[in-house]
Chains A and B, each alone.
Chain A
Amino acid sequence: MSSDAIAIRTAADTDRPWVSVLHEWVTTVDHKRLGVLYILYALFFLVVGGVEATLIRIQLMWPHNDFISPQVFNRLFTMHGTTMIFFVAMPILFGFANYLVPLMVGARDMAFPRLNAFSFWLTAFGGMLLYFSLLGGNGLYGAGNAPDVGWWAYAPLASRAFSPGNSSDYWTIALLASGFGSIATAINIIATIISMRCPGMTLGRMPLFAWMNLVMSGMVLLAISPLSAAQIMLLVDRYLGGHFFDTQAGGSATLWMHFFWIFGHPEVYVLIIPCFAFVSEIIPVFSRKPIFGYPVMVGATVCIAFVSMSVWAHHMFTIGMNSYANSFFTITTMAVGVPTGIKIFNWLGTMWGGKLLFRTPMLFCIGFLFQFLIAGLTGIMLSSSPFNWQLSGSYFVVAHFHYVIVGGILFALFGAFYYWYPKITGRMLNESLGKLHFWLFLIGFHLTFDLMHIPGLLGMPRRIYTYEPGRGWDTLNFLVTIGTFVQAMAILVFVANLITSYFRGAKAGNDPWDAWTLEWTVSSPPPAYNFASVPTVLSRRPLWDLKHPEDPDSRYE
């Protein structure tokens, strides 16, 4: 479109002193810059959380290993979980949503740009607070250090009797701050999608990406609020003499579990639904077909959001609920499998009869499909509450949710990186390095997380800093750790690709993938104002209509 104007602007950029550039980034309210900030911030914490995971796995390589102490191990798994969920997955997905939602709905920015900046800095502040605990907090035994109460901080372990000092407070306030940031971002995304769509873009013509981020944002409002409330109650317990969760004074440990999991389970869908969004954009483009069953996909997404609000206590099957409660949460949990299955079938339907191009984004999406299928099926096993009494709290569960988070969410995210990096930077990621990254990560992932199911079936509980020899866990744990190293190498390849391609990658042009949504009509990277003139759309695939005037989508919808 107005690429001349852009060329002039970027040329002017390079001449300015770095302080002025930095100042512009720190004070920016541009949704694209904030999106990039979110993503870079999350990538930094991805490396931090990954190093923590690697240390955990080295400790578990051999039985009775003494690589790190139990105190350090407990801090590591607490920080690993908290970091990966709140300071990697959430911000990186918000980053992509921030960058892409306005471009995809034909808007010039988010509805509330300054609130947007506020949200990012709150989230960033949260992550810094969490890690500041390394200086300012105190662990269970008075050693100034990180929180060690686990990422769900079950009562009464997080009460002052069992967690003196301030490490748990840093955890609480970090989640509270980033939680407010998330709620504000969710409001922003909802407002943008509801009120800023370009002419012609009815809800029924909106890209699935926007639909799914709309649903995700609604879930954030419902899920983060109880978490924030619980964090405030915990602070009241710890500092104002409250007894919500203080069992020594008659408080309830299960009350915290209910609060945490009515956040915690929808949170899984808050993370995976934006990944469904990536996959729903990438698979059609590389299959050269429109998404199969668009209205059904929208319906299934909304359905997942509703049902997932009534499944939280499947994380609590072992706490001694009565048989009616256990049956209820079994059926609701199994029910989520139906709309989720429908999605997998629709992606399959999209690929069926297409012309599949195996570029790196598509490879990661196909990996996602296979792995998400398995993660869903182990989820069905866990939903059967008697089976859950054996599997819950074991390494089987650890393998299951890493299958969702790494095999599902992270694979889809890598796909998104390879797909939209050209739009964000103006340069293609290197395809050979991309394929190397994919295959290395695939091998490492399966070595780690396929095998990790088995120690769980053999009775190995999670969160133990060491284990007894001779229980059939030794060899498996060793191989799982080797898989971690392979994954770490793949991440190095990815980071190298991100950096070298930024300087030396092939020029992308506006539309390198021959795609169909509005972000590909503007230059790469897009101008600050996105669209020189606000576009008008007639169908779900405006660029298809433009490229195929003889056979436009608008004729069929």
Chain B
Amino acid sequence: MRAVEKMQKADWPVIVSRITGIALLLAGVLLAAGLCTATPQANPVPNIFDSRSTPADSIRHLSFFVLSVTGLIFLVVFSLLAYAVVKFRARARDTEREPAQVYGSTQIELAWTIIPILIVVVLFLATARVIHAIQDAPKPTEAVDITAIGHQFWWEFRYPTLGVVTANELHIPVSDPAHPTPTFLKLLSADTDHSFWIPQLAGKTDLIPNRVNGTWLDPHETGLFLGQCAQYCGTQHAKMLLRVYVETPADFKTWVDAQQHPAMDDAKEAAGRRVFERTACLNCHAINGTNGNGRFGPDLTHLMSRKTIASGAADNTPQNLRLWVQNPDAIKPGSLMPAMQLGDADLDALVRYLETLQ
């Protein structure tokens, strides 16, 4: 965890940039802050500068440094240009004479070649430190392992050491800086390219078929963090939303324990379960404890523990669930879930059964 700790200490680019960077970002950050406070929910705006996790913090510090340097360049060159435009404009009283014909100057050319080279060297060194700190961070033994698999158009999350499988809503423990428990994600894709992006927790990393990628999160605050797929992956790229619940270790353990159980088997809803087991549902969906073990769609064992369905496209309410099974295009046109063509009785029984899957 050495590299992670190193990034938490203040360093020189951070000191320079904390002061100037914020001022330069006036428009963006002020606006974002205003919008943050406008709604009561915890973190509705996935603002990259409102970081709550070690890698995102490192990027924020670096970005403030880069913004200060580029901001300074902007001010200098903008002023020179504006000065030239005002100062050297042709005036009515000017004579017909042409101005002095100047062809160039070696000294000036050298100056505006060497200074930018020095700036580039400084920017590069500051960047290289952060690349190394984030990409080459060692994985501590306490880290939580998760495999994230991108699908058209939803997220599959598997916790290989905990035996938990879920979809679209990721639960991870908060990481105490004294005893960090970061989350290390292995990123895979089942079909096309996707990109895993929760702006407040880390930069994005693509999920690419036939390729194993990785990223890590190290949140130091609990809460709900929003993101969504950031690489065009097909028709419903827009509704491939992502929710990350950062929980206290106790809450996380409670959640894991609940997820490790097989599905509820409420004898009262046996009719609905029969519908699930005897129609095409089980070709794509798994419910632990039934004979459904499809992996093309999300695992439904603990469907009701999730706040949303259809990868965040709708709230997880009985009405939405019914509509989703009956006509997915009404919620998410172009999603790969087919309309199930069930009769009303079967549909009601199925939805009642799904509602028991706590």
Residues of chain A having any CB pair with chain B under 8 Å: 69-71, 74, 140-141, 148, 150, 154, 156-157, 162, 247-248, 250-254, 287-290, 292-296, 318-320, 322-323, 326-327, 330-331, 334-335, 337-338, 341-342, 344-346, 348-349, 351-358, 366, 369-370, 373-374, 377-378, 380-381, 384-394, 453-454, 457-459, 461-468, 470-472, 476, 548, 551, 553, 556-557
The minimal Cβ–Cβ distance linking A495 to chain B, given in whole angstroms, is 28
Q: Is B27 an interface residue (CB 8 A)?
A: yes
Query: CA separation between A156 and B231, bound complex, in Å?
Result: 13
Instruction: For residue B167, give the distance in angstroms from its CB to the closest CB of chain A.
Output: 18
Interface string of B29-60 (1 = CB under 8 A from A): 00110011001010011111100000010110
Shortest 9 CB-CB distances between A and B: which pairs?
A389-B203, A459-B46, A464-B238, A472-B35, A320-B213, A247-B209, A293-B104, A459-B199, A323-B135
Question: Which residues of A have CB within 8 Å of B312?
Answer: 468
In the bound complex, residues from chain B placing their C-beta under 8 Å from that of A320 are 187, 205-206, 208, 211, 213-214
Say whether chain B's binding surface is mostly helix, strand, loop, or mixed: mixed
> Complex Cα distance A557/B104, Å?
11
Nearest A residue (CB) for B241: A468
B116 at the interface (CB under 8 A from A): yes
CB contacts (< 8 Å) of A70 on chain B: these are 235-236, 238, 333-334
Are B109's CB and A470's CB within 8 A? no
Flag if B46 contacts A386 (CB, 8 Å).
no
Task: Please give me the residue from chain B that is nearest to A349 by CB atom.
Answer: B108
Q: Bound state CA distance, A292 and B62, in angstroms?
A: 36
CB distance from A329 to the nearest CB of B (A): 10
Q: Chain A contacts of B233 at CB under 8 A?
A: 157
- Chain B contacts for A322, CB-based, 8 A: 135
Distance in angstroms from A260 CB to nearest chain B CB is 12
Whole-angstrom CA separation of A394 from B197 in the bound complex: 10
**Residues from chain A with Cβ under 8 Å of B143 in the complex:** none
Contacts of A472 in B (CB 8 A): 31-32, 35-36, 44-45, 47
Residues of B110-142 at the interface with A, using a CB-CB cut-off of 8 Å, are 112-113, 116-117, 120, 123-124, 126-128, 130-132, 134-136
Report yes or no: B210 in contact with A386, Cβ–Cβ below 8 A: no
CB proximity to A under 8 Å, residues B70-118: 70, 73-74, 77-78, 80-81, 84-85, 88-90, 94, 98-105, 108-109, 112-113, 116-117
> Is B28 a contact partner of A461 (Cβ separation < 8 A)?
no
Can you give 27 A-B contacts (C-beta < 8 A)? A140-B234, A141-B334, A162-B234, A247-B209, A253-B208, A287-B99, A292-B103, A320-B206, A320-B213, A327-B124, A327-B127, A330-B128, A338-B116, A353-B102, A356-B84, A366-B85, A370-B78, A373-B78, A386-B127, A386-B131, A387-B62, A387-B66, A389-B202, A393-B195, A393-B204, A454-B32, A471-B226
Other A-B contacts than A71-B333, A247-B210, A465-B237, 7 sampled, CB-CB below 8 A, are A287-B99, A319-B206, A381-B66, A388-B203, A458-B35, A472-B32, A472-B35
Q: Which of B188-228 contact A (CB under 8 A)?
A: 191-193, 195, 197, 199, 202-206, 208-211, 213-214, 226-228
In Å, the complex CA distance between A373 and B102 comes to: 24
A354 to B97, CA, bound (A): 11
Are B123 and A386 closer than 8 Å at their CB atoms? no
Contact A162 B206 (CB under 8 A): no
Does B131 lie within 8 Å of A330, measured CB to CB?
Answer: yes
| Contact A330–B124 (Cβ < 8 Å) | yes
- With a cutoff of 8 Å between Cβ atoms, the chain A residues found around residue B113 in the complex are 338, 342
Whether B81 and A334, one on each chain, are in contact in the complex, defined by CB atoms closer than 8 angstroms, is: no
Bound-state CA distance A554–B112 (Å) is: 27
On chain B, the residues within 8 Å of A464 by CB distance are 228, 237-238
Q: Within 8 Å CB of B67, what residues of A?
A: 381
Q: In the complex, are the beta carbons of A348 and B99 less than 8 A apart?
A: no
A355 touches B90 (CB 8 A): yes
Q: How far is the CA of A352 from the CA of B102 in the complex (A)?
A: 10
Which residues on the A side are within 8 Å of B45 (C-beta)? Answer: 458-459, 471-472
Q: Which of B66, B112, B204, B334 is within 8 Å of A389, CB to CB?
A: B204
CB-defined contacts of A252 to chain B, threshold 8 Å: 210
Residues of B within 8 A of A69 (CB): 333
Residues of A with C-beta under 8 A to B148: none
Within 8 Å by CB of A373, from B69, B81, B101, B202, lies B81
Contacts of B44 in A (CB 8 A): 470-472
What CA separation (Å) do A295 and B117 show in the bound complex? 19
Q: In which size bucket is the chain B interface?
A: 35 or more
A373 with B47: CB separation less than 8 A: no
* Complex Cα gap A342–B114 (Å): 10
User: Once the chains are docked, how many angstroms separate the CA of A323 from the CA of B128?
Assistant: 8
Q: B117: which of A71, A338, A385, A557 is its contact (CB, 8 Å)? A: A338
Q: In the complex, which residues of chain A have a beta carbon less than 8 angstroms from the beta carbon of B238? A: 70, 463-467
Q: How many whole Å from B157's CB to the nearest CB in chain A? A: 18
Residues of B within 8 A of A327 (CB): 124, 127-128, 131
In the complex with contacts A154-B232, A389-B203, A459-B48, A292-B128 CB distance below 8 A: no
Which one of A150, A289, A334, A342 contacts B120 once the chains associate, using CB atoms below 8 Å?
Answer: A334
Contact across chains for B120 and A337 when beta carbons are under 8 A apart: yes
Closest chain-B Cβ to A215's Cβ sits at a distance in Å of 19
Partner pick for B211 among A254, A295, A338, CB 8 A cutoff: A254
Asked if B48 contacts A318 (CB within 8 A), the reply is no
The docked-state distance in angstroms from the alpha carbon of A349 to that of B83 is 12
B113 to chain A, nearest CB (A): 6
B230 shortest CB reach to chain A, Å: 4
- How far does the alpha carbon of A244 sit from the alpha carbon of B90 in the complex, in Å? 60
Closest to B71 in A: A377
Q: Nearest residue in B to A152 (C-beta to C-beta)?
A: B232
Residues in chain B near residue A384, CB distance under 8 A: 62-63, 66, 123, 126-127
Contacts of A356 in B (CB 8 A): 84-85, 88-90
Q: A154-B232, A288-B99, A323-B136 are in contact. Are A348 and B84 (CB under 8 A)?
A: yes
Instruction: Please state if B235 and A74 are interface contacts (CB–CB under 8 Å).
Output: yes
Instruction: Verify if B174 is at the interface (C-beta below 8 Å from A).
Output: no
Which of B46, B100, B234 is in CB contact (< 8 Å) with A157? B234
> Do B334 and A71 touch across chains, with their CB atoms under 8 A apart?
yes
- Interface flag for B229 (CB, 8 Å): yes
Question: In the complex, A482 Cα to B112 Cα: how many Å?
Answer: 39
A352 to B80, CA, bound (A): 9
State whether B204 touches A323 (Cβ < 8 A).
no
Measured between alpha carbons, how far is A41 from B83 in the docked complex, in Å? Answer: 39
- B334 touching A335 by the CB < 8 A rule? no
Q: Closest CB-CB distance, B316 to chain A, in whole Å?
A: 16
Q: Is the CB–CB distance between B59 and A358 below 8 Å?
A: no
Given the interface pairs A318-B203, A393-B231, the reply to whether A342 lies near B209 with Cβ below 8 Å is no
Question: Does A380 contact B210, Cβ atoms closer than 8 Å?
Answer: no
User: In the complex the two chains form, what is the Cα distance from A380 to B132 in whole Å?
Assistant: 19
Task: Kindly identify which residue among B99, B124, B204 contacts A334, using a CB–CB cutoff of 8 Å.
Answer: B124
Closest B residue by C-beta to A336:
B120
> Which residue of the partner chain, among A346, A380, A453, A461, contacts B66 with CB atoms under 8 Å?
A380
Query: Quick one: which of A253, A323, A358, A457 has the most chain B CB within 10 A?
Result: A457
Given A458-B47, A472-B31: A390 and B210 interface contact (C-beta under 8 Å): no
Instruction: For A454, list chain B residues within 8 Å (CB).
Output: 27-28, 31-32
The answer to whether A331 and B124 touch across the interface, beta carbons within 8 angstroms, is yes
Q: Is the CB of A141 within 8 A of B211?
A: no
**Which of A140, A250, A352 contacts B88, CB < 8 Å?**
A352
> How far, in whole Å, are A351 and B87 apart by their CA atoms in the complex?
10
Q: Which residues of B contact A318 (CB under 8 A)?
A: 195, 203-206, 230-231
- Contact at B206–A288, with CB atoms within 8 Å? no
Give chain A residues whose Cβ lies under 8 Å from the Cβ of B78: 370, 373
**Residue among A296, A331, A553 making CB contact with B104, cutoff 8 Å:** A296
Given contacts A74-B235, A357-B90, A386-B58, contact A470 B229 (CB under 8 A): no
Tell me the smallest distance from the CB of A117 to a CB of chain B, in Å. Answer: 38
**Residue contact A394 to B230, C-beta cutoff 8 Å:** yes
What separation, in Å, do the CA atoms of A374 and B202 have in the docked complex?
26
| A296/B109 in contact, CB under 8 A | yes
Distance A93 CA – B73 CA, assembled complex (angstroms): 30
Task: Please determine whether A392 and B28 come into contact, CB atoms closer than 8 angstroms.
Answer: no
Q: Which residue of A lies closest to B227 (CB)?
A: A459
